[in-house]
Structures are given as structure tokens and as C-alpha cells.
Amino acid sequence: MKDRAERLKAVRQIIKQHRINSQEMLLEHLREEGFTVTQATLSRDLKVLKVGKVSEGSDGYYYTLPTEEELRESRHNYAHDLKRGFLSMDFSGNLAIVRTLTGHADTIGIALDNIGIREILGTVAGDDTVLIVLRENTQPEKIRSQLRELVPELRE
């Protein structure tokens, strides 16, 4: 069974090489390359890759990948969101708790889900707290270091 990283790489390549105008078409290309994937998983993959749709006029839409500049801009915006509402972070096993200013947890959760730290599997946000689920055996210092690299102003 091929892993997620291989599948994401394949999705990028397929979108670069073909004019893909539907998830069904993309699923077919993935099957041809040996991937078994559901539509729901593919939707999540497209979100992770920040795939967009571009109009072809009367012929509909096709998928496109973000430019490097767009990716940098997104990372910059996520870093700004973290800087604006982050208060502290504590760890327990493969979980982390981020304390935020009231009303900032959702925005910070979205930023953490999308900044590209591989060890973050996902988040659950409340009003002033974000629960982060980390990959097994992730060292807290690795997460702290990656966040400080993105947002040097973060204090813990």
C-alpha cells in the first residue's frame, strides 16, 4: 500500500501534467498509478495541497497548484495568526495544548493544521484552547523549534 506522501506527490504530478477538471478524473489517474483512495480522502489531499480551480471560460474549471509565492504568503498569514493569539503551549505524550487569547483558538488551530509541520496530525479548537494531536514519539522541543522558526516572537 502506498503511503500518503507518495499519494500527495502523485496528485501534484498528475495536476501538473494533465488538465484535470474533476475529482473523478483525478481518482482515475491515481488508480492507474496504483493508488486506492476514496473521494473523501482525495478532497482532504486537495485541501492539504491548497489546490484551486481556474476557470476555462465556457469549458468549466480545472485544478491548479499554488505558486511558491502563494505558499509563502499563506505561511506568512498563518505565522501572523499564531503571533497574534498564541499564549503558551504544554505537552503530554503525543498531545499538546495551546492556550490562546479568547476567541483566537479557531484561527490558531487552522494555522497549525496548515503550516506544514509534519508531526501535527490535527487540531481541535475551543474558544481559548487548541488541542494538538502529534505523531507518536514526537519530541516537544522539535515542535517548539519549528514554531519558533516560523514565528521567532513566540514565547512559552
pLDDT digits (tens, 9 = 90+) for 97-142: 999 999 999 999 989 988 889 899 999 999 999 999 999 999 999 9
pLDDT at 74: 79
pLDDT at 129: 97
Q: Mean of the per-residue pLDDT values for the chain?
A: 89
Rounded Cα–Cα distance for residues 122 and 113 (Å): 6
| Helix orientation angle between 4-17 and 39-48, rounded to the nearest 10 degrees | 80
CB 130 within 8 A of CB 108: yes
Domains of the chain with CATH codes: 4-64 (1.10.10.10), 69-150 (3.30.1360.40)
| pTM for the whole structure | 0.61
pLDDT at 92: 96
